[in-house]
Structure 1
Amino acid sequence: MSLKKLETLSTKLLLKNPYWEYKLDNYTLPGGQTGEYHYVHTPGAAMVIPVHDDGTLVLVKQFRYLWKKESMEFACGGVKDGDFLSTAKNELSEEAQLAARDLRQVGEFNPFNGATDEICRVYLATGLSKATRERDASEEFEVLRMSVAEFEDLAGKGTIWDGMTLAGWMLARRSVSALLKEKRL
């Protein structure tokens, strides 16, 4: 069975800031009725899952304003220039203070398909070395290093609660497992 599609009649920009746009679409249903759809448009996001040669993962701990608590996450940030790969490199350097010899995309997902059209591309970073990049004045990070087992334990307990980090891990997990098996870790 094929689901009926909604047809867009118009799109109106309601609010714009440097990070996203809030839009309102008017649409028509197959029966002729019309409706409104409010959503957030972004140019996308890039997430990086760094894996050291010893098999440990790198996350960053940061304070999340809306939740008023700390969150452990993979480095991730909004795409500003349309270049997902450059954004991934910049986020890895800025947040985790690392550079990668190899950075390859392992998947992509929409973080909240009822409210945003954002696509987050997930990259696996290997061949890591120290790097420094000036951080945004509004951001403070603590770099964390942990095994896959520790990560999965913290995620299972709800200590790692960031949805994008959890979704990104699901896309990268198989690739990380293959990498660890190849290195016999």
Structure 2
Amino acid sequence: MKKFEEKTLNTKEIYNGKIIRLQVDEVELPDGKISKREIVKHQGAVAIIPVTDEGKIIMVEQFRKPLEKSIIEIPAGKLEAGESPDVTAIRELEEETGYTTKRENLVFVDSFYTSPGFADEIMYIYFTDKLEKLEEPVEVDDDEFLELVEMNLEEAFEAMKEQRIHDAKTNYAMMYLKASGRLSNA
């Protein structure tokens, strides 16, 4: 038995969309009481930290409707069914930045659950500093509007203070870059 395990008694699907599913589980708590859990199911996501030869981090600025503002983020996207995270990393790099890299140039950084209190989404993060500009840019999704932003690490930390960079994966990525010493201006 898992420590503090909650036994699922039944599950009711509330919504099944393109990106998430929402369900409500009725659970038996470790003390025998009954409770409900609202759960967001997500396929998982992948982000990539692309760094140029000049030590610039390539990011994208885009409007995030839940926040009602634009923020600057490292390139990221949803895992497709059956797709390995490293393939997703390269696909998102190409779609969002116009750059590519080879699988052997990807460094797996870490993975983490984004909001384990209500969601099962897992985020995989990769790093590469071996970039090639695509001759033919890959088209972005029809509903995706973004602008490339290149910053050194000092500029990125300033953007974090100003909350222009204000999401967990990008903050995590900047802390990784600083701690790893992968950039000379760290």
Query: Same fold per TM (> 0.5)?
Result: yes
Letter in 1 for 2:76: C
Give 5+ residue unaligned stretches, structure 1.
Answer: none
TM-score by length of 2: 0.88
Structure 2 match to 1:138: 143
Identity %: 29
For residues 74 and 140 of structure 2, the distance between their equivalents in structure 1, rounded to whole angstroms, comes to 16
Letter in 2 for 1:127: K
Structure 2 match to 1:169: 174
Letter in 1 for 2:183: L
SS in 2 for 1:87: helix
Q: How much has 1:171 moved relative to structure 2?
A: 4.2
For residues 149 and 167 of structure 2, the distance between their equivalents in structure 1, rounded to whole angstroms, comes to 15
Letter in 2 for 1:94: E
For residues 91 and 142 of structure 1, the distance between their equivalents in structure 2, rounded to whole angstroms, comes to 14
TM-score by length of 1: 0.88
For residues 68 and 31 of structure 1, the distance between their equivalents in structure 2, rounded to whole angstroms, comes to 41
SS in 1 for 2:114: coil
SS in 2 for 1:117: coil
For residues 152 and 173 of structure 2, the distance between their equivalents in structure 1, rounded to whole angstroms, comes to 16
Superposed, 1:6-85 pairs within 5 Å as 6-82=6-82, 83-85=84-86
Give 5+ residue unaligned stretches, structure 2.
Answer: none
For residues 42 and 9 of structure 1, the distance between their equivalents in structure 2, rounded to whole angstroms, comes to 21
For residues 178 and 44 of structure 2, the distance between their equivalents in structure 1, rounded to whole angstroms, comes to 22
User: 4+ runs of 1 displaced by more than 6 Å?
Assistant: none
For residues 177 and 28 of structure 2, the distance between their equivalents in structure 1, rounded to whole angstroms, comes to 38
Letter in 2 for 1:129: E
Q: Which stretch of structure 1 is more off in the superposition, 60-69 or 84-93?
A: 60-69
For residues 109 and 15 of structure 1, the distance between their equivalents in structure 2, rounded to whole angstroms, comes to 25
For residues 43 and 124 of structure 1, the distance between their equivalents in structure 2, rounded to whole angstroms, comes to 21
For residues 111 and 56 of structure 1, the distance between their equivalents in structure 2, rounded to whole angstroms, comes to 26
For residues 63 and 94 of structure 1, the distance between their equivalents in structure 2, rounded to whole angstroms, comes to 17
Please say if 1:128 is aligned against 2:134. Answer: no
Q: How much has 1:97 moved relative to structure 2?
A: 1.2
Structure 2 match to 1:155: 160
RMSD over aligned Cα, in angstroms? 2.0
Aligned residues: 180
